[in-house]
């Protein structure tokens, strides 16, 4: 788990942290690259849309799945949703990218309504990975 301020510079910090963790854990390079891209999109969305002062990121491997979570402080009832990208805009493709890279993804409300967790599962991690968390 790592906590980052809700600032644009945190996107790079999240990518760096995930890249280092994937290398430390011996995750297959192609999965590690996808994980870096997914964390980048999820943190970017949390910073842009949740309006909190920080985000909390979690990484966990169970079996052959890598779970990536980004918790924000969103107060609204509207959860992130994939929408068709507008061809005239430079943004708006993040969740489509997450959907393309992840086996599954979704949103869970934090108990008490103090935020939400957007998660994505990537797999297979590697043929011989035992599992860990961080």
- 82-132 pLDDT, tens digit each: 555 555 555 555 789 999 999 999 999 988 878 999 999 998 776 555 555
Over 70: is that where the pLDDT of 133 sits? Answer: no
pLDDT one-digit tens code per residue, 63-92: 899 999 999 998 765 555 555 555 555 555
Tell me the domains of the chain and their CATH numbers.
2-129 (3.30.565.10)
**What sign does the dihedral 78-80-82-83 (CA atoms) show?**
positive
What pTM, to 2 d.p., does this model score?
A: 0.84
């Amino acid at each position: 788990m790592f906590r980052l301020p809700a600032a644009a510079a945190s996107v790079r910090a999240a990518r760096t942290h995930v890249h280092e963790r994937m290398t430390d854990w011996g995750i297959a390079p192609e999965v590690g690259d996808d994980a870096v891209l997914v964390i980048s999109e999820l943190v970017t969305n949390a910073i842009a849309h949740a309006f909190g002062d920080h985000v909390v990121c979690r990484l966990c491997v169970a079996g052959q799945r890598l779970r990536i979570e980004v918790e924000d402080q969103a107060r609204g009832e509207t959860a992130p949703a994939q929408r068709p990208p507008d061809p005239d805009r430079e943004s708006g493709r993040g969740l489509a990218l997450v959907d393309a890279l992840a086996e599954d993804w979704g949103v869970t409300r934090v108990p008490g309504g103090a935020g939400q967790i957007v998660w994505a599962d990537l797999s297979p991690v590697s043929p011989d990975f035992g599992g860990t968390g961080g």
